[in-house]
Structure 1
């Protein structure tokens, strides 16, 4: 039950679905694209230039991982003759959207957006890893025209394998548990070989990701295979130290404690159980699964959410431990999350028929915190909140998201420069259109419309103050890509995070106090949580 619900919530709360984005989109004037041809190491492509940005869509960066290449490390894309059209997005990786299977295995494509006119070259490259719990999402959902034009950067948005195709782990199978991560590395290698063809600087690459993409970004900082591929990193609502006590990721009775990074053994156990579910005999799982059609494998898709394995060649160490011991790429980092990360999950679970009530609130506490439950109940009494759902969402946001993120920031700041933030727009758009008995505020993923045009359209309904915040956030992010120091016109200076401090930059519109410092530890009661122990 918990795993099935995780898949539902991940599909709705970790990434934006095409239908919702289109329903909420603001139309804008269409422009007639002009052809733009670039020569890659694999062949020539023709993109589109509308006078503002140049876009290249559906570029293959690896061979299709099908047939004998299913559950293999990605293989460099084969060269082609002539000029390939790069004007339409490539196929998403296989996933479930709106209850239906979409995409396909032949999905290792990326899109690239560059300013049509830039005042300086070469330009920094920002590689965006999408979210979706390793179950949903695709690069072309995130139109980067505002980021590319305003910030004068090149933005690359790749796909990577999802679900069982990206994270299967079996005894004796090379690459087990990390095929999706290997795809991300292959996209970074493609950037090294081809950035210059677009006017980009392969020596100035910023890896940026949100949710599962942020979790992947942090993991890659701990991977020996990423050396020389990443010069800076941005992690949004995803870091190596995230962990959720039982029921705090989504509030269901059988949801266990979780981290995004299971051990290879745990990942193998999940995979062997999934193979058995599909009727594969013990010891013959790989051949059996390779013979299965995609639709059959999708029956176990949800088992592979948040299932990026460590103890592997790509991730030798548990990423959280790597951060704590300083064994990671010491590049400048922006790291943060949204203030009310847990709100959308609790509201989404209620929509699925599982509500937090005054009656089950103590049980959730007991399941999550055991003998410490009474202390947490006293710290988060129902009388302090407008509803039991909001109370549990606050526990989730504080203990499951904000305080682990703060811990990760402190660990990284002991070895490199970190710029810490919290997206705190209390009136951020409800991008999933989730009904809720309490205000959703800055829920998980509500920062995305400020940086990207989701499914190609600016978000309808943002106020002028929110659009100003969007411009400032893009300014911070892209100036960081240029120089390693985030700055934005008309916005406050962003000081580096100090390991001994807990002050971060709060990002909110002017009408809510504007951008400024905030004590993250105090706001999310991290002193209480660290004193509570595990």
Structure 2
């Protein structure tokens, strides 16, 4: 939790002991892989009560990695530079660069915690040359084979140092080697980069590097590299839990101890460099291009980075390197290193030092104050369950904690509030980890530390053992002599408690059993510590008189670990990964991830799918490759990360979106997300089966966006792939001027965006079998300009054989330079499903200021030259003065022209017919004449999620996309602000099934390749004689001759009026008309 490293924990344990410990005698020299180091012998008796050994050896400030400044900043740690001669290891190295703690210490605590933890009193300076460690041992013989305990300090991942924790007492009392070390903190630890080998988690990689050093060197200090225990407190304890989850740490340690902290939150997804860009900007660096930003950041001083940085609690990154999946998924799936685990909490973690509500304590807390604090304190629960509804969780929490107590008693309410914070922040995650690890048949021991130390008389009476109180006892501080100088008057009983705890910890490190005293002196008749098992749930209450118990906070743990996940819907995001999967491509191997479907998608056919993102299908189109045909991508060695989307193609900002629509369209289509680049020719694959023998149908999506904007990554393929036996591919292609500017090159003088689409389809042919797809069963589908692209690929000889079926949604290209191909039926003979929505220009695409009061007949006529511009392109020798009166006659002759609403409706029917329907019907007519299967539709359902749209608006442009991509089937729709109805869910199931059936068999009614989800309407084929189509609605039905009279007007009458001239000789150097589409040049369509 964000407060795990608060208060005094944010630095580490005391420097003052160093004054006591510096009365050393002889020096000792030990060899390491980087060179020899000279430590010193420390006499124990003058400073430590009843030590087992009269002297120990201490080595300080040994480098385990190189400085991380300059070019090595925000990079994985590198080996230290070897040295010649003997390196002085008698003084601590520098601590890692950090800001002062953001958690101010209570004035009464400063003389105790401050002196003990070295708060603001650490004599070492801060630096980026800080990756050093310290070793405490009583025997440096390589044959000593002592257990090794490696301490990971706390401090909220923002402050602290290993040197603040004294290892003298543990090493003097027990047969153990103690190692403490530093690791990078704050922004130096947590900022993300786009480097492939290690883009994040630098502090954790430092911890891995330190453990590697231990494996290589610790035998020379008397330690056994086969008997290494990691232990830590607060954020150090969370680090321990993350190392238990990391494949990089496998074999580097053998047991683990977590004190007050286990990480089971989701973590951040890799590739989010927004924080890096923010810091770079604050530090005076450019943020683009990326390489220049990183060079600038690495050139700044550590002080500059600290000054530019931001406070906060760094989250681990699911990078496919240190963490292969979100921590909560790893715990749930028991994908953990199988090591013995001792873990626990204190019984009042938030009692006083960590509380942010200290001002409320004296007089208690009201029930209203309890409720007011919940959104803040339940923030991390929201992270764990991102699709959950906090408005459901908060009342349940109030009922759980206040339902059975006197809410009018402010002290009772206060106590319940602190218990709530303990449970959420520490206990629930610790119990869940104990449960998970014990299920792997390794030894697990749980504790609750309950003793309120006598050295804190100033704390309120209601405070018990709070955060970090156990540290005094783990490190043997009550056994130090001259306590008066420390102002720490521990009692004899507390001295015994410290002896017990040290013995338990060392016994566990030695043998995996805290009760096995064969490797340590049994100091007194300590309580037997029962093992935690899934059935016993036993734990030890650590106190002056310790005792065993079972099921720590049983009712509350059941609430947090069983009830809350159900309340919040299971907790996995639509993008959360479950495991990783490698696949080979012609350019190299890639690693995608396994996605669990059940927690995010309603009633999926498959409980998991595999997702591969950002796969290059062509090289970057920058520099000499700009305005040239796409080239093969550069092959790579090793395994390329394919767990995050690639950049979208360079484009201008989107058309402004209506304010009411932004929360819907914007959140679904990812408006404003993904950075842009010319290195953008990448694609994404969604599949439930990667067997080369799976032979699934393949559907390749071409995104819309007027050929000027958009990205394949904005369209989620998860639902289609989870519900059907199909492989979904979404692609990027060049846009705007990068796609359409003509050149004088002979091989390809234009159409670069369309050539990108051809290149992507060639990639599919060469690679899709390795993703479970059948290259002989490829369907292309797209909407708007993506639908136009589909129709153009149907016309292009370059696309012949690259796909076998086609679906055009709201777009078919039969304007100049294509119309001849359609009329002459010079098309690829592929099955074709195509259609429109019944109000394409209803609201989003319209000229909205005409809506409120309708339109006059004069306004209708005044707009004709503009709205019929595209018709003029189609018939460049025609006479617009002949066309316009005919259009006015066709649309206004049979309506009351004095009714502005009737005129308005006719105007938008005209725009609909000209912009979409006429070309779609013409394409259906032409393709069906080639004896291939054709299916036409009109989507008619006005979605319930658009209550703000005017009543006269029906199904407009884009509306069918929600249903094609299964958005109504996503769970937790409230978080999407998309409250679809059950009927709309059924409609989405129907449409997805129709589309996939067509892709599988060329027949939307053939459910042999998909489950028939309800009694769907039969969809008749379109033939030149039947002209049948399906009206897609909540209750769909078939009909014939869509807008028959109007289609006859546009496709038969108008061509005669305009002379129907062959335009193949025309020098077409103009835009397409509708939305400014790019021109089509001869190498792509051979009939210009």
**1:403 corresponds to which residue?**
428
**2:449 corresponds to which residue?**
423
SS in 1 for 2:317: coil
Distance 2:331 2:173 in 1: 33
SS in 1 for 2:253: coil
Aligned residue among 436, 447, 451 for 2:470: 447
Q: Deviations over 1:438-491 (max 9, x none)?
A: 63321111111111267x967723221122111111111111111111125221
Give the 3 Å change call, closer, same or farther, for CA 26–188 of structure 1 in structure 2.
Answer: closer
**2:400 corresponds to which residue?**
379
Aligned residue among 309, 324, 328 for 2:317: 309
Q: CA deviation at 1:351?
A: 6.8
How many equivalent residue pairs? 501
Give the 3 Å change call, closer, same or farther, for CA 68–365 of structure 1 in structure 2.
Answer: closer
Distance 2:137 2:274 in 1: 43
Distance 2:453 2:550 in 1: 18
Determine whether 1:67 maps to 2:95: no
Provide TM-score, normalisation by structure 1. 0.85
Q: CA deviation at 1:518?
A: 4.6
When structure 1 is superposed on structure 2, of 340-349 and 474-483 the one drifting more is 340-349
SS in 2 for 1:371: helix
Matched-pair contact (CA < 8 Å) for 1:72–1:174: no
Distance 1:37 1:392 in 2: 54
| Greater relative contact order (Cα < 8 A, sep 6+) | 1
Determine whether 1:14 maps to 2:9: yes
Distance 1:318 1:80 in 2: 40
Give the 3 Å change call, closer, same or farther, for CA 27–13 of structure 1 in structure 2.
Answer: closer
**2:273 corresponds to which residue?**
268
Q: Deviations over 1:15-67 (max 9, x none)?
A: 4457xx468x7985863332111112221111111242210001111111111
Distance 2:7 2:412 in 1: 22
**1:328 corresponds to which residue?**
336
Matched-pair contact (CA < 8 Å) for 1:205–1:230: yes
Determine whether 1:365 maps to 2:365: no
Distance 1:286 1:356 in 2: 50
Give the 3 Å change call, closer, same or farther, for CA 88–160 of structure 1 in structure 2.
Answer: same
**2:540 corresponds to which residue?**
505
Distance 2:29 2:437 in 1: 41
Distance 1:190 1:308 in 2: 23
1:153-164 equivalence runs, <5 A: 153-164=176-187
Distance 1:322 1:519 in 2: 23
**2:174 corresponds to which residue?**
151
Give the 3 Å change call, closer, same or farther, for CA 372–196 of structure 1 in structure 2.
Answer: closer
Q: Deviations over 1:337-368 (max 9, x none)?
A: 11112224553553799x99524322223563
Q: CA deviation at 1:506?
A: 1.1
Q: CA deviation at 1:113?
A: 0.3
**1:134 corresponds to which residue?**
157
Q: CA deviation at 1:503?
A: 2.5
SS in 2 for 1:525: helix
Q: Deviations over 1:86-133 (max 9, x none)?
A: 111110001123678951111011000012599x82101111110111
Aligned residue among 3, 10, 23 for 1:31: 23
Give the 3 Å change call, closer, same or farther, for CA 186–360 of structure 1 in structure 2.
Answer: same
**2:42 corresponds to which residue?**
50
Distance 1:441 1:264 in 2: 40
Matched-pair contact (CA < 8 Å) for 2:538–2:548: no
Distance 2:41 2:416 in 1: 49
Matched-pair contact (CA < 8 Å) for 1:274–1:303: no
Provide TM-score, normalisation by structure 2. 0.43
Distance 1:424 1:104 in 2: 38
Distance 2:140 2:490 in 1: 27
SS in 1 for 2:158: coil
Distance 1:84 1:27 in 2: 22
Determine whether 1:191 maps to 2:202: no
Give the 3 Å change call, closer, same or farther, for CA 154–500 of structure 1 in structure 2.
Answer: same
Q: CA deviation at 1:11?
A: 5.1
SS in 1 for 2:318: coil
Give the 3 Å change call, closer, same or farther, for CA 374–348 of structure 1 in structure 2.
Answer: closer
Q: CA deviation at 1:282?
A: 2.9
**1:125 corresponds to which residue?**
148
Give the 3 Å change call, closer, same or farther, for CA 436–88 of structure 1 in structure 2.
Answer: same
Q: CA deviation at 1:182?
A: 0.9
SS in 1 for 2:294: helix
Give the 3 Å change call, closer, same or farther, for CA 225–428 of structure 1 in structure 2.
Answer: farther
Matched-pair contact (CA < 8 Å) for 1:42–1:79: yes
Distance 1:233 1:407 in 2: 16
**2:494 corresponds to which residue?**
466
Q: CA deviation at 1:235?
A: 1.2
Instruction: Structure 1 unaligned segments of length 5 or more: list them.
Output: 242-258
Q: CA deviation at 1:148?
A: 1.5
Distance 2:352 2:237 in 1: 18
Matched-pair contact (CA < 8 Å) for 1:356–1:392: no
Give the 3 Å change call, closer, same or farther, for CA 82–91 of structure 1 in structure 2.
Answer: same
Q: CA deviation at 1:300?
A: 4.7
**2:232 corresponds to which residue?**
209
Q: Deviations over 1:229-257 (max 9, x none)?
A: 1111111112232xxxxxxxxxxxxxxxx
Determine whether 1:177 maps to 2:200: yes
Q: CA deviation at 1:270?
A: 3.3
Matched-pair contact (CA < 8 Å) for 1:425–1:507: yes
Q: CA deviation at 1:271?
A: 3.1
Q: Deviations over 1:390-431 (max 9, x none)?
A: 43221100232112210111011100221111111134755x
When structure 1 is superposed on structure 2, of 28-37 and 467-476 the one drifting more is 28-37
**1:495 corresponds to which residue?**
530
Aligned residue among 505, 513, 516 for 1:477: 505
Aligned residue among 284, 299, 302 for 1:294: 302
Distance 1:83 1:26 in 2: 23
**1:393 corresponds to which residue?**
418
Give the 3 Å change call, closer, same or farther, for CA 347–413 of structure 1 in structure 2.
Answer: same
Distance 2:302 2:136 in 1: 31
Distance 1:27 1:68 in 2: 37
- Alpha carbon RMSD of aligned pairs, Å? 3.3
SS in 2 for 1:335: strand
**1:528 corresponds to which residue?**
559
Q: CA deviation at 1:173?
A: 6.1
Matched-pair contact (CA < 8 Å) for 1:428–1:442: no
When structure 1 is superposed on structure 2, of 185-194 and 288-297 the one drifting more is 288-297
Matched-pair contact (CA < 8 Å) for 1:11–1:97: no
